Amino acid sequence: MLCWQCEATARGVCRFCGRALCREHAQQMPFVLTVYIGEHQTPKAVVVADVLFCGECKPQPEPIAMPELY
């Protein structure tokens, strides 16, 4: 697999969109695994720090509601 940006050998893939990335182009970003309602009705997020990110895609900071699926 080759890097999406420079075609060097990829070391991993973007957690958000799946593009392959070499070490040089891999960026890091926290990844929101899940969000739940904690005590006092406060939404809480389970976050994985420093997952691979390509810098190209635009992950939203929070999950997007998709009411049309229901």
**40 contact partners, CB below 8 Å, separation of at least 6:** none
Query: Of 16, 30, 32, 45, which lies in the binding site for Zn ion, with binding defined by CB under 5 A?
Result: 16
Q: What is the CA radius of gyration of the chain?
A: 15
Q: Which of residues 51-70 bind Zn ion (CB under 5 A)?
A: 54, 57
User: Nearest CA to 52 among 32, 29, 68, 22?
Assistant: 29
Is residue 17 part of the contact set for Zn ion (CB under 5 A)? yes
Is residue 1 part of the contact set for Zn ion (CB under 5 A)? no
The gap between the terminal CA atoms of the chain, to the nearest Å, is: 38
Is residue 20 part of the contact set for Zn ion (CB under 5 A)? no
Which residues contribute to the site for Zn ion (CB under 5 A)?
A: 3, 5-6, 8, 14, 16-17, 19, 22, 25, 54, 57
